[in-house]
Structure 1
């Protein structure tokens, strides 16, 4: 199939390059965020490559996949979710690099990443006049989208570690309580989506951020040692199971491109 970045779209006919927001979307998203935690930790901790090297490895994968996503002529579920997984693994190592390697702790890491996410959204909105995901149909908007996705994934990781961790300024609530808190937050966002007229764009980004710490705490619950409140499942084994689950979901759950907003 011929692919090019010089694709011409009309506002009425063009489809977004991202999937429609369905229950299946959120199921795969949570699984992908959990995989990002276990996979990122496997590379940086189990393989002893460190946070900086791990970040560089996943950064190269992220850039390559975003270029492929931008060049694609239309929505491709396999490519889209591969890019999402790249953002979750990179977000894990990047958040750990801020929190631990730079020595600014969880509160400091959260603060830095909040600023980066806010700046990304502000520049995107100032340039395009919207940050709605349904507008993702041109190369420039796609780059805004994926950079914002990356920062939202990184923030979610930092939030999950801050709430669950008992070191580096963490709140020490544990993985189970952290998962419960962020799960409740997602339920609240879902109720607002169904029962109010709150901006759908705002609620999407809120849910997208909240699913990341939920996945992070679930991932930590799986692979952390028993002494730290985890189940001590091998990071590689847990990552393999999650990857098989995601592949099955992509193959079996129907997905369609979101209709582009005009």
Structure 2
């Protein structure tokens, strides 16, 4: 199987700096977009979760049925996971009364379980092996749990731990820098480091999103959720249009 065939079978993007920039924009959009529906439109967490879950399922079906890598389809699905993750985590943490710590612990357990079942079933959780419908399904379920976990973890850090939005953003930024250093300077598993970074970009987006749209008296900038969401969506569109996006190379 040659490289061209490999890339045709891979429907997830190559991991580059642009990938991580768009991922952070997408996770921040998930926070502002999720809050716009559940809070600004007063639809509540449960109904908003149902709406975003339907969008997520539709996006996943389109993504899995696609014959090749489509950046717009892929990032639409990522945005869908992060919006439904926002409202689902808020519903569990606030409406069900689990709390941020409890919600984070539960979702972390589900994430680890998802990765363990994926590894036991297919032998690898590397993105370079996501080339079949089954591996894609595991990939998106794992991402769904990671996005939801990130929301709960971001809220827990900013509120319960008392770091605030700016403190939370600094904390998660530093952790991501350390992961990047480990990627280039150590022999730690690149697969483990990828998933660690992927998970941590979500709470970073959560605290940045909250910083943008929460009231000034709670440490935010009190910007319109609609405006913030539109700006973030526009930024993602610019990065999709301005840069080349290649599929990840599959391992044989």
**Structure 2 residues not aligned, in runs of 5+:** none
Counterpart in 1 of 2:98? Answer: 104
TM-score by length of 2: 0.97
Is 1:217 aligned to 2:207, yes or no?
A: yes
Matched, 1:58 2:58: no
Distance 1:42 1:201 in 2: 34
Q: Which has the higher helix share?
A: 2
Shift of 1:171: 1.0
Q: Tell me, yes or no, if structure 1 residue 243 matches structure 2 residue 243.
A: no
Task: Identify which of 119, 127, 132 aligns with 1:125.
Answer: 119
1:179 alignment partner in structure 2: 169
2:6 equivalent in structure 1 = 14
Is 2:133 the counterpart of 1:139? yes
Question: What RMSD over aligned residues (CA atoms) do the two structures have, in Å?
Answer: 1.0
1:203 and 2:197 aligned: no
Query: Which residue is equivalent to 1:6?
Result: none
Residue among 191, 194, 214 paired with 2:184? 194
**For residues 30 and 11 of structure 1, what CA distance do their matches in structure 2 show?**
33
Residues 39-118 of structure 1 aligned to structure 2 (within 5 Å)? 39-118=33-112
What residue number does 2:25 align with? Answer: 31
Q: Is the 8 A contact 1:19 1:77 kept in 2?
A: yes
**Alignment: residue pair count:** 249
Shift of 1:11: 8.6
SS in 1 for 2:15: coil
The 2-side partners of 1:253 and 1:47 are apart by 34
Unaligned runs of 5+ in 1: 1-9
The alpha carbon displacement at 1:14 in A equals 2.1
Cα deviation, residue 137, structure 1: 1.1
Contact kept, 8 Å, 1:11 with 1:261, in 2: the verdict is: no
